[in-house]
Structure 1
C-alpha cells in the first residue's frame, strides 16, 4: 500500500495521511452513528464510546476494524499479523469547546516504567494509532519528528514541571506544531510518542471521528497494546458479531493470551480513560 517514501516519512516525521474510506463508506458510518445515538436516546454533546465493547457496541461501524486498506497500511508500517486494539468513536456537537494540552501518550504509564530510550531513532514501537474522520476534523496537531528525541527547549518550557502533559493554553505556542486538518474518509496514522494534542477551540461543526490502534503479532507488544477489554468478549457476544469482526476480536484474544503482561497495560489504560472521559 505504501511507497518507500511514505514509509520513510512515517519513520522520520511520525505521521502519514492517506485516503482510506470511500464516500459511500463515510455516509454509511455516519448514518450508523446517528441511528445508534437515536436508538440509545443519547443526548450527550460529547462522548468517547468504545464501540467494540458489549453494551457500548455500535454494530454499524464495527467492520471498520477489518477495512483492507487500513490493515494493509498498518502492516506496511509495523509488520505482518495486524491485530486490532483500540477502537473508539469520538463524537462532539458544534459549539463544544475541545482543547487538550500538548502531550505524549504516557499519562497512563507509571513514572518508573517510562524508558527514555522510547524516544530515540532506534526504538521500534510496535503500535500505530489511526484517526479516521467521518466529518471534517481539525483537531489533531503534531510536532513532526518529536517521537525520535527527548523534549527540546521549547517543549520543556511549556511542559514545565509535568513531563506528561502541558497546560491547555500554555504559551508560547510550539512553533513546530502542525495542525492536520483531515477530510472525511482520510486516515491519519501516527506514532503516539510524538508530541501531539487534540485541539480545536470551539468546534464550528459536528465532529465524528473513529480512532483505532493496531499492533503486529510479529513483534513483542509495547505498552499501549491492551486497550480492548477482552474479558467482556463472551462466546455469546462473539457469536452475535459479523464473521469478520468476530475473527478480528478472536485474533486479539489469542494475542493477549500469548502476552499476559499486557493485562497490566490494560489496567493502566482503563484507569487513565476513566478520568479523562466519561465512559459510556
Structure 2
C-alpha cells in the first residue's frame, strides 16, 4: 500500500466535514478486531524484546532506537489517509507518531491546554484560534483498548478563550494547572478499540484518565497536507534521525511515507525553528522513552 497524491473519492459526508469544522473533532471506525489484536501483539512483543517494564510511556515509534516495527504501518492505513484528505486536502504527509502505554492503576492527568506548548509565548498568534485561520494539521488518537482519556471543548478552536477558560488559564494561551477547576464545556470522548478520533489540536483539550482502571494503549498520529502552508506543528517527527540505513531497513510503504515527509520538510525551512522547539519540549516537558 502506498500513499497516493491524487484526488480520490471522499469518505466523509458534507455533514461530517461541517461538524469537524464547527466542533473540532470526528470519530470514525478504522480497524477491525483482527487488526487491533495484531497491533496489541506487536506492542507487547516490543516491550518484551526491550525489557520495558515502565508502567507508563510515550514512545516515538517511527524513530530509530524507539521503533515498534509491527505498528509502523498504521501511518499508511488507507482509511486514515482518506479521512485526512477529506479534512485537509490532497498530499497527506505523516508528521507525528507516538504510542501511549499505561498500565491499570497509573495516575494520568494533564491540564486543559491548546497544542502550542512548545511555542514561546511571544510567538503564539491569537489568529490561530479563529474561524479565519487556515488550519493545516489534524491529530488522531487510535485506541487499541477502550479509551476515555481525551476531553475536548467543542468549537473552542474557532475562538479566543472565553471568560471561564481564561480564569483557569490565566495570562497564557498554553495550559491550565492540572488541579484547575473543571470546564463546563468540556466533553469526554470515549473511543472503542479500532475507532479513531480525529481532532483539531488548537481546541482546548486535555488527556485525563485519573487512576486508570484498565490498561491503555493508544496510537497518536499527526498529518499535514502539502497543498497548503504548514502550521507550527509541521516538523514534529525528528527527520534528522532518518538516515539512509534506517530508511532502507523499513517496510517499503513506511519508507515511502517518511520519504514524502522528508521531501515536504525540505520545502519548508521556516518550520525548522518550531521543530527545534518541539524537540526541546519532548526532552524537558514531556518525557518519552
- Do Structure 1 and Structure 2 share a fold, with TM-score over 0.5? yes
CA distance in 2, matches of 1:12, 1:268: 29
Aligned residue in 2 for 1:57: 67
CA distance in 1, matches of 2:173, 2:17: 29
Is residue 134 from structure 1 mapped to residue 134 from structure 2 by the alignment?
Answer: no
1:252 aligns with 2:266: no
- Are 1:228 and 2:233 matched, yes or no? no
Aligned pair in 2 of structure 1 residues 122, 140: CA closer, same or farther (>3 Å)? same
For residues 205 and 287 of structure 2, what CA distance do their matches in structure 1 show? Answer: 22
**Cα shift at 1:277:** 2.7
Matched, 1:206 2:215: yes
Query: What is the match of residue 26 of structure 2?
Result: 16
In the alignment, which residue of structure 2 is the partner of 1:166?
176
Report SS of the residue matched to 2:71: helix
Residue 64 of structure 1 aligns to a residue in which SS?
helix
**2:224 touches 2:234 (CA, 8 Å); kept in 1?**
yes
SS in 1 for 2:150: strand
The match for 2:12 is 2
Spell out, residue by residue over 1:37-77, the C-alpha distance to the aligned partner (whole angstroms, 9 max, x if none). Answer: 00000010100100000000000000000000000000100
- After superposition, the C-alpha distances for 1:120-142 in whole angstroms (9 at most, x for unaligned) are 11111110000000000110000
Q: Provide the aligned length of Structure 1 versus Structure 2.
A: 279
Counterpart for residue 248 of structure 2: 239
After TM superposition, where is structure 1 displaced by more than 6 Å over at least 4 residues in a row?
Answer: none
Task: Please identify, of 8-17 and 154-163, the stretch whose mean Cα deviation from structure 2 is larger.
Answer: 154-163
Matching residue within 102, 107, 120 for 1:110: 120
> What is the root-mean-square deviation in Å for CA atoms of aligned residues?
0.8
CA contact (8 A) 1:51 1:62 kept: yes
Q: Say if 1:47 and 1:277, in contact at 8 Å, map to a contact too.
A: no
State the TM-score, normalized to the length of structure 1: 0.98
Aligned residue among 246, 249, 271 for 1:262: 271
Which of residues 176, 184, 187 is equivalent to 1:178? 187
**1:215 corresponds to 2:232:** no
TM superposition shift of 1:188? 0.4
What are the ranges of 5 or more consecutive residues in structure 1 without an aligned counterpart?
Answer: none
The 1-side partners of 2:270 and 2:238 are apart by 14
**Could you tell me which residue of structure 1 aligns to residue 53 of structure 2?**
43
| 5+ long unaligned stretches in structure 2 | 1-10
Which range moved further: 122-131 or 152-161?
152-161
CA shift, 1:114, in A, is 1.2
- When normalised by structure 2's length, the TM-score is 0.95
Q: Secondary structure at the match of 1:101?
A: coil
What is the alpha-carbon distance in structure 2 between the residues aligned to residue 18 and residue 83 of structure 1? 20
Q: Which deviations, in whole Å up to 9, do the C-alpha atoms of 1:156-215 show, x marking residues without a partner? A: 1111243311111212x1111000011100100000000000001000000000000000
Q: How far 1:271 moved relative to its partner?
A: 1.1
Whole-Å separation in 1 of the counterparts to 2:169 and 2:271: 29
Aligned counterparts, 1:48-87, within 5 A: 48-87=58-97
